[in-house]
Amino acid sequence: MQINDTVIDDTFAEAFPMKATRLVITAHTPAWAQHAAQSLTGFATSVIGCGCEAGIERVLTADETPDGRPGIAVLMFAVSTKELAKQVERRVGQCVLTCPTTAVYSGIDPATSRAPLSDNAPIGRSLRFFGDGWQISKMIGETRYWRVPVMDGEFVCQESAVTVKAVGGGNLLFLARDTDSALHVAETAVAAMRRLPNVIAPFPGGVVRSGSKVGSKYAAVPASTNDAFCPTLIGLSRKSELDADVGCVLEIVIDGLTDSDVGAAMTAGIAAAVELGRAAGVLRISAGNYGGKLGPYHFHLHRLAADVTGRRA
């Protein structure tokens, strides 16, 4: 399949089940909400080494937050409910409780969530003990909040965060003529994805250059460089899927609250890439999978690209 002279590989991205939550961080000013959100989502690119995958979903206006202040919505993903709860407690405790003027709330409404619900992750239930006995709770409706005295006033946080069953590992590979072309298409695709709700691209700038495969020639290494897509290994690796025209490959990994959210983000990324087309150096679009053995969610590029073709028509 070709769109705007860019080849779409007949392959699929393979994703797997995760657990996720949305946190709403508010503060006295947008800048301080941003500081807390950036700190909380730092070092959260991959569950392999970071414990969770997290990112800023979007900026919230004052009329979109529980306390009427500027806010940021962040999404966090982990492989289990237990690990997600641990990451929420640690990151909120170290990065939001410590940040001037902030408060934190659960951002998923159980009544309207399209994703299946999971066990809640404690926030105030754990962090209230920092108040050393001076903390107090407040029930509003059926929701409990905690007020913890701190040096700038109070840290307000919800008792717990709603968590859901989610999907991680959707991905796109952009095979480009050179570094400038690859960066441009990746940045354009990430910008398109970030306009959608319920998804994040957790790597730096939303983009990863160190795509990996399962296994290694070294027994102690569980994953290693994806030599099939390394331009410097053309003619050296028997697994290479590149030709001499490809000078750079970049990947976007997508986590979403549902498989539909991940598919929508991948479709948006494909649409943005083929709009640039071969004239802009976008030679091929591919995806990474493990033969269907890693996860039950398979996002076939030709099916997603068919939607793009229909929109362009």
| pLDDT tens sequence across 137-153 | 999 999 999 999 999 99
- Find, among 240, 251, 239, the residue nearest to 285 by Cα: 251
CA separation for the pair 239, 134 (Å, rounded)? 62
By mean pLDDT, which of 7-11, 124-128, 214-218, 303-307 is the weakest? 214-218
Q: Which pLDDT band, with edges at 50, 70 and 90, does 79 fall under?
A: very high
Q: Which pLDDT band, with edges at 50, 70 and 90, does 291 fall under?
A: confident
Q: Give the pLDDT score at 98.
A: 98
% of the chain with per-residue pLDDT over 90: 94
Per-residue pLDDT tens over the stretch 21-33: 999 999 999 999 9
Q: Give the pLDDT score at 27.
A: 98
Q: Give the pLDDT score at 211.
A: 93
- Examine the pLDDT at 312 and tell me if it is beyond 80: no
Q: What is the pTM of this model?
A: 0.95
Per-residue pLDDT tens over the stretch 64-78: 999 999 999 999 999
Contact 8, 301 (CB under 8 A): yes
Q: What is the mean pLDDT of residues 293-302?
A: 94
Per-residue pLDDT tens over the stretch 212-248: 988 899 999 988 999 999 999 999 999 999 999 999 9
**Cβ atoms within 10 Å, residue 74:** 26
Question: Would you identify the CATH topology of the domain 2-14+167-312?
Answer: Alpha-Beta Plaits (3.30.70)
Longest dimension (CA), the chain: 67
Q: Give the pLDDT score at 241.
A: 95
**Residue 220 CA to its chain's centroid (Å):** 28
Q: What is the mean pLDDT of residues 101-124?
A: 96
CA separation for the pair 7, 77 (Å, rounded)? 32
Q: Give the pLDDT score at 222.
A: 86
One DSSP character per residue, 235-278 reads: TT-TT----TT--EEEEEEEEESSHHHHHHHHHHHHHHHHHH-G
- Examine the pLDDT at 313 and tell me if it is beyond 90: no
Q: Give the pLDDT score at 129.
A: 98
By mean pLDDT, which of 11-15, 131-135, 206-210, 218-222 is the weakest? 218-222
- Examine the pLDDT at 13 and tell me if it is beyond 90: yes
| Domain spanning 18-164, CATH architecture | 2-Layer Sandwich (3.30)
E strands in 4-114 = 6-8, 12-26, 53-60, 71-78, 103-106
Helix, strand, coil percentages for the chain (3-state, nearest 5): 30, 35, 35
Q: Which pLDDT band, with edges at 50, 70 and 90, does 309 fall under?
A: confident
Which residue spans of the chain are classified as CATH 3.30.70.520? 2-14+167-312, 18-164
Phi, psi for residue 271 in degrees, rounded to 5: -60, -45
CA separation for the pair 186, 251 (Å, rounded)? 8
Q: Mean pLDDT score of the chain, rounded to an integer?
A: 96
Segment holding 84, helix H or strand E: helix 81-95
